Every structure is written in structure tokens, then in C-alpha cells.
Structure 1
Amino acid sequence: MTGQDIHVHHLTGIDRATGQAGPGLVEQCRLALDHGAAVLARSGHAMQDVTRVVFLLNNTDGFAACFPHLREAFGAGRPATTLRLVPGFDDPEVLIEIELVVGQPDA
């Protein structure tokens, strides 16, 4: 990888249309993944190009219910994954934040 990697941070489950947080962890995870896919698409990439993903949670209860959305988002790709527990988020309605990295091959 090079210094040209694409980093997408602060993907949360806030609905861009309403400004409201999704009603639960699974919905917030789906919304955050959708936001990430849209950001990557603007740079010509897809979720299947992601080489690293970081999930920030303040509670892991229910995270396994997000797995179907993760499989759908990343397809056959299996990015390196980190789960980071945090004490909380700036917005108390936020239950999950996702960071994505797309590694660019050397030219």
C-alpha cells in the first residue's frame, strides 16, 4: 500500500435525509455502510475494494445481528477488521461508527 490509500472516517447511522439516528444498532450499521458505499463510489471504488474496516462501538450487544449487512456490503471481500470499544460518541444517539480504508496498489 502507498500513501495514496483512501480513508473514510466517521460513518455513522444518522439518516442524511432526516438527520435522525437509526432506531437500533442494526439499522445504524446498515445506514453507515450505505454512506460508506456512496463515498467510495464518488471516488470510483466499491465496498469490495475495502482492505480494512474499523467498527467503533460502546457496547457489542447485538453486533452479531449486523453480520448479514456486512456480508452483503463486502461480498466475497474480507477486509482486515478491527472492533474498537469506545466509552461513547459525541452524539449519544450514535451506536456505531465505521471507518473504511481502500489500499491503493503501488504504481
Structure 2
Amino acid sequence: MTDQEIHVRHLTGIDPRTGGNPPCLKEQCRVALDRGARALARDGYRLQDVTRIIFLMRDTDGFPSCFPLLRDAFGTGRPGTTLRLVTGFDEPGAQIEIELVVDPAHF
């Protein structure tokens, strides 16, 4: 175990089965969170252990549709949240990118 923060970056909504982006923001968010959960599990952590989450988005209009996913994913953890607006992504059709941070010092 380490005391250094663990960062899981560049979590996009690219569907690993198809290689494409789902058309809606909510589904892209779900895929990105699933990818993040798998990455954290490799280090023995869960989404509920996340202390900070950073969202990169082009447009926030559909973001409220993601709130139920976020409540389910993070439970009562309530990680610190940053939302950064970006002009675009490298991947056409991408609407969201997520970074998760776990600070083991909180445990």
C-alpha cells in the first residue's frame, strides 16, 4: 500500500466492445465509470474510495442525466468534484472524460 494519490485518467465513454462512443452523455458516463471501477479494482480500491473526481466536458446540458449514475457509483462518499469545460476531444463523438483520484491517506 502506498500513501501517494492514485490517479486514473482519460476515462472516456468509448465502448470497449464496439470501439465507438455511445450517442448519449449518460451512457458515455456509465462506460467511463465502469472502466474506472475496473482500473481501481486492480489496485484494491472501489469507486466509493474516490476522494476527487474531475469531469471534462464540451457541453453540460445533459449532465443532470448522469446524476443517478454518480449517486450509485459513489454512494455516500461524496468526492470533491471539478468540472472543466473543454473545446473538444481527440475522439470524435466523445462528450465526457473522467479522472478519478484516491488518496490513501484518507483511510
Q: TM-score, normalised by structure 2?
A: 0.94
Query: Which AA in structure 2 matches 1:88?
Result: G
Question: Match of 2:73?
Answer: 73
Identity, in percent, stands at 64
Question: Match of 1:94?
Answer: 94
Report how far residue 3 of structure 1 moved.
6.2
Listed as ranges, the matches of 1:6-85 within 5 Å are: 6-85=6-85
In the alignment, the residues of structure 1 paired with residue 92 and residue 79 of structure 2 have an alpha-carbon distance, to the nearest angstrom, of 28
- Say how many residue pairs are matched: 106
Deviations 1:40-84 (A, max 9, x none): 011100000000000000100110010000000001100000000
- Provide structure 1 residue ranges, at least 5 long, that are not aligned to the other structure: none
Deviations 1:26-48 (A, max 9, x none): 00000000000000011100000
In the alignment, the residues of structure 1 paired with residue 45 and residue 3 of structure 2 have an alpha-carbon distance, to the nearest angstrom, of 17
Question: Match of 2:105?
Answer: 105
Aligned-CA RMSD value: 1.6
In the alignment, the residues of structure 2 paired with residue 36 and residue 64 of structure 1 have an alpha-carbon distance, to the nearest angstrom, of 20
- Provide structure 2 residue ranges, at least 5 long, that are not aligned to the other structure: none
